[in-house]
Amino acid sequence: MARILVLTHPAGGTSGVFDEAARSDGHVLEEWSPATSAEPPRGLAAYDALIVLGGDQNVCERDRFPYLDRELSLIAAWLDGGRPLLGVCLGAQLLAQAAGGEVVRAPSPEVGWYDVSLTESGRADPVIGFGPPRFSAFQWHDYVAQPPSGAALLAHSEGCLQAFRIGCAWGVQYHPEVTRAIVAGWIDDTRGKAGGDSPDRDAALAFGDLSTRLAPWMAYGRELMHRFAAQAS
């Protein structure tokens, strides 16, 4: 049994299918939002693995969101300890920054379903190397991670790097954790920010595609979680 700490962010959703998959394997996920609580449920030494989820904050906005600086320090220390880590979207960007890389604005935002291709290293990777070499992934981001030299580059879309590994830490730009409820929350958030009843066009299209694409994508997320949790067992 592995005990896994999950860092969440405001407007970023929850661990979604990750929680379901981990619990089915007998693992325990405990969520913690550094934005609202100074300390995790337990000391960090109690956890076998760390997951850092997404959010609508950006690494360049640390003056607005000072808890991101604490997260960067935590991730850097975690990397030194050699325990498995998985960063998703903002989490992948924080991982890249903490490891000595950069985070930059994407050439264009990716919201909705985009094709992702595994590299040769990605096809051999124990966590994301399952399934077809090219697949459609759910995305919601306008910044991207540029990991430091020496990172294994695992997957890419036409627009950006989509997955990488640094030691036993993985970063994915896409969102394998989502459920319908998580995406619906993001849609509602875009409505609120727009001050109207309708989300932006890309977000509306992303939500509309869920009826046919969500079930297989959730199965992908469960399998990724099974494989990641196995690294901590």
Q: Mind listing the pLDDT tens digit for each residue in 220-230?
A: 999 999 999 99
Q: For 116, left (φ over 0), alpha (ψ -120 to 50), or beta?
A: beta
Residue 18, pLDDT above cutoff 90? yes
In this structure, are residues 30 and 5 in contact, taking their beta carbons and an 8 Å threshold?
yes
- Judge whether 221 and 19 are in contact, CB under 8 Å: no
> Active-site residues: which are they?
89, 175, 177
Per-residue pLDDT band for 209 (boundaries 50, 70, 90) equals: confident
The predicted model scores a pTM of 0.94
Domains of the chain (ranges, CATH numbers): 3-230 (3.40.50.880)
Complete edge-to-edge strand list for the sheet that includes strand 28-32: 28-32, 3-7, 49-52, 85-88, 169-172, 161-166, 152-156, 102-118, 134-146
